[in-house]
Chain A
Amino acid sequence: MSRLDVRKTYKLYIGGAFPRSESGHTYEVVDTAGRFLANAAKASRKDARDAVGAARKAFGGWSGRTPYNRGQILYRVAEMIEGRHDQFTADVVAAEGLTKVQASKVVDAAIDRWVWYAGWADKLAQVTGNANQVAGPFFNLSSPEPTGVVAVVAPSDDSLLGLVSVVAPAIVSGNTVVVVTSYDRPLPAITLSEVLATSDLPGGVVNVLTGDSAELGPWLAGHLDVNALDLTGVDDPAVAADLEAEAAVNLKRVLRPSDPDWTADPSISRMSAFLETKTVWHPVGV
């Protein structure tokens, strides 16, 4: 007699904990052939608000860490994804209907991408900051700083590599993130939450909401404690336009939707989209 599998009911990942949706709602996740995979929590408006609160709370500590320390923690996350390679591969197979070999390559790419971003932590200021030679006796230095709380709509198709490619660049510089995962393919994101929870990443730095981005998007775009909005995963241009317009309420920085080739080498643009430049002046020789 074959063994009966243990079916999972997943929860959200907010502030380092795994709460159920406050609404009590869940939805069924199926594979590309329509077979039941798991129940996922369907995040509500209250969950989104809690996630933003957790991200805000975590911002001071995370942005205040040394870049070297952030780089180490991101690298540790990559180690742990590597450790769960098989599970991620199975998630990607189920979510995206790839073969095991194809999915394994996606997981490899996601780990490599995470490692690439980890290495940027203590180099961003060297590449995007500068000493300014002003016409007067002043020390004048511009350095990048994180923008704050970034709300991200993750790509809907590329559920692991796409997700990693939008989350890692936002947090490596010290931002904290609320990410709405692919609605149909949330399992890689949920597994990633489990990795993040047991790595050294402080709770609240990444908050993962499984659910409907069409529902959650406007609340995040209009939230006054969100500083930036990444619309990469919004597929409908009209919806994206509405969210961008809503984001003007507190002049959020908006990264517009795009459909990048996630397998291509990234540039630093996803990091610099969520950086501010701070310029400090001081007299010299007085």
Chain B
Amino acid sequence: MADHAVPPTPLEYAPAPESRSIVDLEPSYGLFIDGAFTEGTDGGTFKTVNPATEEVLAEVTEATPADVDLAVAAARRAFRGWSRMPGRERAKYLYRIARIIAERSRELAVLESLDNGKPIKESRDVDVPLVSQWFFYYAGWADKLSYAGAGSNPRPLGVAAQVIPWNFPLLMLSWKIAPALAAGNTVVLKPAETTPLTALLFAEICQQADLPPGVVNIVTGAGDTGQALVSHPDVDKVAFTGSTDVGRSIARAVAGTEKRLTLELGGKAANIVFDDAPMDQAIEGIVSGIFFNQGHVCCAGSRLLVQENVFDEVMERLKRRMATLRVGDPLDKNTDIGAINSREQLQRITELAEVGDAEGAERWSPPCELPSSGFWYAPTVFTGVTQAHRIAREEIFGPVLSVLTFRTPDEAVAKANNTPYGLSAGVWTEKGSRILAMADRLRAGVVWANTFNKFDPASPFGGYKESGYGREGGKQGLAAYLQEGETT
């Protein structure tokens, strides 16, 4: 392959850091149970760090099974009142929350970037606006449940146990809590152990909104806390977003119970570029497909399938574009790629990329200076990748793109579908009939045509096959929290 030229000196920008003074960090945080912050029953804590600096941000309580008991009990007590409250009243609480999130959006965005490592321009322009929008959208459903597809007299399920990942801490919280509450359920939510802070700020927002105690409970902790929560005998619904392996074990844990289950799991999305693609948009789509949120996206376009005759052109333009990506301080408004969320995740990415080297794929990264402390990974692309390579099969969950080629639409479909996952896919072509034919044949829950990584509360999201079951967003996302009522 030709040695593609890279501009020798990337553009220089003056630093433009967002101030963190808007966030009041407490040295330690308790659990949010029954409307109040409480210390855990055994006093165990863990630290959450800023992945960009390794600075300890706060100490957070490790919830024990006894704490989970208390939280579930609080949710159970609150369920009676919350589920019987007229939908229009529940709606008003959700509207209040949506408004408060919008009012406090800067604070939430800064805290999200501090705790997660994502660039402020993404937390500010993508995550937090969507979070507010999610509550706003589902608020409007609360008094219209009979139109949600669960019969004319739908009822809530009860207490929902919700476990969310670290890649979109606040956004995943809104995906879980907003539909659950609109439908009349109460919730116990466990944020990820590396990113608990915005969930705890959200707990304050619930207080500010005068949400009745117990309707939302937040328990912090790691895998053991999550396991205690999803296997608690008094929860009626389990919702999980995370890895396929953990999803499998949760599916086993709820087997034989009455608990309803939805799972949003991993993916290995094919982003398919045909030779007649609108090339400028396609290059941007490839970049946002894999480098948005450091590639910490379950629906990331991590397998680029390029039609063979435009491979050289695509790679040349992609590399030129990648060379302009700015990696660094998440709070700098010019940053495109922030920090990897944790040391463990950085290690996983590093290991899998080394497997790519070992298996003979060709690695390329733009020249880019990484900060000396914190967790960083340069945007990386592998060419010469085959379907047998692990980097083409396994979810890397980092800014690492694997490129494969194809000649015909049939071959593109076959390669795209050649994975146990089925979460998302991208198609780039100016030919409308080809878009529709490809969209038809791709076994994936979301197909982005001439765009990528778009999310909206009105739009169902979720996977086929081992990417999990159930949908979030839209009326499908609401129906996951409803059961058909007894006929009257």
Contacts and interface: CB of A to CB of B under 8 A. Distances in A.
Say whether A associates with B.
yes
Interface of A: 128, 130, 132-136, 138, 140, 142, 147-148, 227, 237-238, 240-242, 244-245, 247-251, 253-254, 267, 269, 272, 276-283, 286
Nearest to A245: B255
Identify the interface centre among A134, A240, A249, A253: most chain B CB within 10 Å of its CB. Answer: A134
B30 interface: no
Nearest to A276: B464
B37 interface: no
Contact of A128 (B149, B151, B255, B465): B149
Interface in B220-250: 244, 247-249
B133 interface: yes
Given A140-B456, A244-B256, A251 B247 contact: yes
B263 A251 contact: yes
B248 A286 contact: no
A223 to B, nearest CB: 14
Interface of B: 133, 149, 151, 244, 247-249, 251-252, 255-256, 263, 265, 281, 420, 435, 439, 444-451, 454, 456, 458-462, 464-466, 468-469, 471, 474-476, 484
B439 A280 contact: yes
Contacts of A283: 450-451
B461 A253 contact: no
Identify the interface centre among A142, A147, A241, A249: most chain B CB within 10 Å of its CB. Answer: A142
A286 B281 contact: yes
Contact of B469 (A136, A251, A286): A251
Contacts of A247: 251, 255
Nearest to A241: B256
5 contacts: A148-B465, A245-B252, A277-B462, A279-B459, A283-B451
B449 A280 contact: yes
B313 to A, nearest CB: 21
Given A250-B420, A251-B263, A136 B247 contact: no
Contact of A279 (B149, B447, B465, B469): B447
Contacts of A134: 454, 456, 458-459
B445 A276 contact: yes
Identify the interface centre among A238, A251, A279: most chain B CB within 10 Å of its CB. Answer: A279
Identify the interface centre among A237, A240, A247, A277: most chain B CB within 10 Å of its CB. Answer: A277
B464 A250 contact: no
Contacts of B484: 267, 269
Given A242-B256, A251-B265, 17 more contacts: A132-B460, A132-B474, A134-B458, A136-B454, A138-B456, A140-B458, A142-B474, A240-B256, A244-B255, A247-B255, A248-B251, A250-B466, A251-B468, A277-B471, A277-B476, A279-B460, A282-B449
A55 to B, nearest CB: 16
Contacts of A286: 281, 450
Nearest to B463: A276
A217 to B, nearest CB: 13
Given A134-B456, A250-B420, A279 B255 contact: no
Given A132-B474, A249-B248, A281 B449 contact: yes
B456 A135 contact: yes
B251 to A, nearest CB: 4
Nearest to A224: B420
A220 B296 CA distance: 35
A281 B459 contact: yes
Given A140-B456, A282-B435, A250 B465 contact: yes
B465 A248 contact: no
B465 A251 contact: yes
Contact of B446 (A128, A254, A269, A279): A279
A240 to B, nearest CB: 7
Nearest to A142: B460
Given A244-B255, A251-B244, A278-B439, A140 B459 contact: yes
A136 B456 contact: yes
A244 B258 CA distance: 12
Q: In the A-B complex, list the 9 residue pairs whose CB atoms are closest, starting with the nearest.
A: A241-B256, A248-B251, A244-B255, A134-B456, A245-B255, A132-B459, A282-B449, A132-B458, A245-B252
B151 A251 contact: no
B442 to A, nearest CB: 8
B469 A253 contact: yes
A254 B444 CA distance: 19
Given A134-B456, A267-B484, A277-B460, A237 B256 contact: yes
A244 B449 CA distance: 36
A238 B464 contact: no
A216 B476 CA distance: 33
Contacts of A245: 251-252, 255-256
A120 to B, nearest CB: 15
B475 A130 contact: yes
A165 to B, nearest CB: 17
A130 B149 CA distance: 11
B272 to A, nearest CB: 14
Contacts of B133: 135
A42 B265 CA distance: 38
B131 to A, nearest CB: 13
Nearest to A272: B149
A166 to B, nearest CB: 18
A238 B149 contact: no
A241 B255 CA distance: 5
Contact of A248 (B252, B447, B460, B464): B252
B267 to A, nearest CB: 13
Contacts of A140: 456, 458-459
A249 B248 CA distance: 7
Contacts of B449: 280-282
Nearest to A133: B458
A238 to B, nearest CB: 7
A281 B139 CA distance: 24
A231 B456 CA distance: 35
B248 A130 contact: no
Contacts of B462: 277
B118 to A, nearest CB: 21
A250 B247 CA distance: 10
B458 A281 contact: no
Contacts of A269: 484
A159 B449 CA distance: 47
B445 A277 contact: yes
B201 to A, nearest CB: 24
A136 B456 CA distance: 9
Contacts of A278: 439, 444-447
Nearest to B476: A277
B283 to A, nearest CB: 15
